Amino acid sequence: MSPRTLFRIVARAEAVTWTLLIIAMLLKYVVKVGDWPVSIAGFMHGFVFLSYVATGVLVGINQRWTKRSIVLAAATSIVPYLTIPYERRLEKQGRLEGEWRTTKSDHPDDDKWIDTLFRWMVGRPILTAVIAVVMVALIFTVMLILGPPGGRA
């Protein structure tokens, strides 16, 4: 799977989970069906939100985006549906072009430790995916323990 495809899939999944969360909030507050829809949709959205941020960092490093662009990619997940226009903008700018960087090139950044580590990770996609899922799950677990934004009712 190319960086473009991965970023596109996760950006759209993030927008879908925003939709589910908004519907769940309408069910809770307008239809008054209880907390369960928000619990389910919130769980899904939170996991995909963290996955989108991780994907933005991973793809951003691969595509040699600026730190500002990587932070902006993460920030787009905060506003509902903004991940899709941002992905389209990156596509138009050609910033999603290319494959995963698995070998050292003549680029001066390839001597940096982060790029060496990155190439090692990309060369082992299954291990990297497992590590990424475990890390997202750990962060998600900590967030669940801390409780929802604004505290518990």
What percent of the chain has pLDDT above 90?
56
Dihedral, CA of residue 44, residue 50, residue 54 and residue 56, to nearest 10:
90
DSSP code at position 30? I
Q: Residue 153 above 80 pLDDT?
A: no
pTM score, whole prediction? 0.83
The pLDDT, as a whole number, for residue 152 is 62
pLDDT band with cut points at 50, 70 and 90 for residue 30: very high
Q: Give the per-residue pLDDT at 27.
A: 95
d(C-alpha 34, C-alpha 122), whole Å: 44
Highest averaged pLDDT of the listed ranges 93-97, 107-111, 137-141? 93-97
Which distant-in-sequence residues (6+ apart) come within 8 Å of 91 by Cβ? 4, 8
